[in-house]
């Protein structure tokens, strides 16, 4: 009888403690998902005379290195165009945080030669979990006239 009474009292106390938010042990938090981050890519395109160049095609590739140091690029790239002030901007929200980036500026009219900038970024402000933070990549292109377009 005494044992049955103690078990009942223990059950009531355990129930009350659970209602108050107490638990028997602290379990580590488990996160499911993949690493992600935010990335801003912005820049400007001008010519050698410092004139802004609108409607220049910008192609942005993201890449990574394997354990042996070989650099790989994603199979797809983002394409955008400069605005009337020669500026471009792309915000990647919750993207996979890749460190290596190749930005290519193409003049589709053929007046200016294409140019490529390879850059690395570091993410900061992560939460210690899957979110690795935010990075900003700011690039400036100064395109040169194509030698085949020059007037003699």
Q: Which domains does the chain have, with CATH numbers?
A: 36-146 (2.60.130.10)
pLDDT digits (tens, 9 = 90+) for 49-76: 999 999 999 999 999 998 888 999 988 8
- Tell me the pLDDT tens digit for each residue of 84-128: 999 999 999 989 899 999 999 999 999 999 999 999 999 999 988
At 16, is the secondary structure helix, strand, or coil? Answer: helix
112: tokens are 């200016």
pTM above 0.85, yes or no: no
Q: Which of 9-18, 50-59, 126-135 has the highest mean pLDDT?
A: 50-59
DSSP 108: T
What is residue 152's predicted lDDT score, i.e. its pLDDT? Answer: 45
Closest CA to 78 of 54, 102, 94, 43: 102
| Host H or E run for residue 72 | strand 71-73
């Amino acid at each position: 009888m005494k044992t049955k009474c103690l078990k009942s009292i223990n059950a009531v106390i355990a129930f009350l403690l659970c209602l108050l938010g107490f638990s028997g042990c602290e379990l580590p938090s488990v996160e499911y998902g993949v690493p992600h981050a935010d990335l801003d890519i912005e820049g400007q395109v001008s010519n050698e005379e410092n004139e802004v160049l609108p409607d220049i095609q910008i192609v942005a590739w993201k890449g990574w290195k394997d354990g042996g140091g070989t650099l790989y690029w994603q199979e797809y790239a983002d394409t955008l165009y400069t605005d009337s002030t020669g500026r471009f901007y792309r915000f990647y929200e919750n993207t996979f945080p890749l460190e290596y980036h190749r930005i290519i500026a193409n003049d589709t009219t053929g007046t200016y030669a294409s140019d490529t900038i390879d850059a690395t970024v570091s993410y900061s402000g992560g939460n210690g979990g899957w979110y690795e933070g935010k990075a900003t990549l700011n690039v400036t292109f100064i395109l040169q006239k194509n030698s085949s377009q020059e007037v003699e």
